[in-house]
Amino acid sequence: MSSYKLSMLAETLIGSEIVKLGGIIKEKISKGDHIYNYTIGDFDATQFPIPEQLEKEIIEAYKNGYTTYPAADGELDLRIAVSNFIKTNEAIDYSPSEILISNGGRPLIYAAYRAIVDKGDKVIYPVPSWNNNHYVHFTEGEHVMIEATKENNFMPSAAQIAPHIKEATLIAVCSPLNPTGTTFKKEELEAICDLIVEENNRRAEGQKKLYLLYDQIYWTLTFGDTVHYNPVSLRPEMKKYTLFIDGISKAFAATGVRVGWSMGPAELIAKMKAINSHVGSWAPMAEQKAVAKFLNNSHAVSEYLNHFRSEIAYRLTAIYNGIQKLFQAGHPIEAIAPQAAMYLTVKIDLVGKKTGEGNQLQTQEEVTSYILNEAKLALVPFYAFGAEKNSVWYRLSVGCCKKEDIDQMLAKLQSALEKLS
């Protein structure tokens, strides 16, 4: 332990379970193990390159000297392009003054929490979910965690939220959801919106309002019959209380290009702009100019998304079908059919099973290690996203999955399961 005393935040911040798992995987790879690393919420650029037209626009922007500070709220041409893109594809109308650009979604989430949440304020969020526990910790808010279930697509329900809504300041949700790749059902999101509108109408003039942080960073990636719904389309009055988190990172496999945006009430966006201006979390000028031009090229956008979605869907479906065959063969493993994003939700229920060496798997952590060591398959357990330590659910990401590896991975997984008794 360090002899230096630091801030309470620094001393109490919880380390990332995913980073911890990543360290174990890297060590195994360095020793020569071939690991099917499906833990990473990112894209292998050899499998999923960014759009060719976007790459050309970025290079051209640098050549044209766009290397200075951008506007604090984002370049106007990009905010207009985002406005048009959202209006065309989601049929919701946001003016440039209601849009804030940043270097990805994370600074926007941080700014939203800082702009809305005071010490002791109640923040409602589901588990599993990505990083909400850390953002509540940053702002010293009161954690109100809702355990979401498979039956409701791992989304919080209005019935679960209702008992906690009085005096809450923020409800933070994500759809499609990281880590599950599942989405809100229309009726459930409508019911949550109705709760929020009713609660805000109840509050006195001058009292803090209840906001909905709606992270839809994966909304362009839906498969089959899955439909993405947003609160403002379902309930137009929600525009006063909704803050969207969005961007290009997952829509266009451009996690390292770092261009994200928020859409919300102009007064909230202005406060978030002020916060971000002190942090300096601007997206680079050249990338902003490039993304503006790319979003305005509807043919290039559509062509890329169609191909991108098909490549992700192929991987998710192939792995899902393989896991379901193992389930049908009597193995205690199953998956939820792909709905959206780049994730497959997998259930691995092996606690109590004995390995070939006669050792009993006594905890879910031991199950995770067994699958990693025997099947060479690395997945992220849901407890890394706030679920209980004994949760049998896992996130499988296909962002770094090679199609030619799938059959080999499934064969190794089958072999590992067959060694158990």
Give the length of the chain: 421
Based on the domain organization, do 215 and 274 belong to the same domain? yes
What does the block give as tokens for 215?
């992270």
CATH number for position 258 = 3.40.640.10
- Do 204 and 325 fall within a single domain? no
Query: Which residues constitute the domain of residue 263?
Result: 52-297
Tell me the H-state helices in 34-131: 52-63, 76-90, 105-116
Q: Are 257 and 85 in contact (CB under 8 A)?
A: no
Contact present, 265 and 240 (Cβ < 8 Å): yes
The answer to whether 158 and 135 are in contact (CB under 8 A) is: no
Beta bridge partners of 147: 127
* Residue 136 and residue 282 in one domain: yes
- SS3 of residue 155 by DSSP: coil
Tell me: do 200 and 107 sit in the same domain: yes
Question: Is residue 16 located within the same domain as residue 97?
Answer: no
Contact 191/235 with Cβ under 8 angstroms? no
Task: Decide which of 297, 320, 337 is a domain's last residue.
Answer: 297
Whether residues 31 and 156 share a domain: the answer is no
The DSSP secondary-structure symbol of 222 reads B
Q: Which residues pair with 380 in a beta bridge?
A: 395
- Per residue in 365-413, pLDDT (tens digit) is 999 999 999 999 999 999 999 899 999 999 999 999 999 999 999 999 9
Does 1 score more than 70 pLDDT?
A: no
Q: What is the number of domains present in the chain?
A: 2
Residues 65 and 79 in one domain: yes
How far apart CA 326 and CA 380 sit, in angstroms, is: 20
Task: Give tens-digit pLDDT for 160-194.
Answer: 999 999 999 999 999 999 999 999 999 999 999 99
Is residue 267 pLDDT above 60, yes or no? Answer: yes
pLDDT confidence of residue 3? 64
Say yes or no: 321 and 345 in one domain. Answer: yes
| Residues contacting 129, CB < 8 A, separation 6+ | 172, 173, 174, 177, 178, 179, 385, 386
Please tell me whether residues 56 and 29 are part of one structural domain: no
Domain boundary among 297, 320, 346: 297
Q: What are phi and psi of 394, to 5 degrees?
A: -140, 155
Q: What is the pTM of this model?
A: 0.95
Task: Say yes or no: 117 and 241 in one domain.
Answer: yes
39 pLDDT tier (thresholds 50, 70, 90) = very high
What DSSP assignment string belongs to 281-301? Answer: -PPPHHHHHHHHHHHT-HHHH
Regarding whether 380 and 280 lie in a shared domain, the answer is no
Amino acid (1-letter code) at residue 45: A
- Nearest CA to 395 out of 184, 72, 55, 128 is that of 128
349: left (phi over 0), alpha (psi -120 to 50) or beta: beta
**Is the domain of 180 the same as that of 267?**
yes
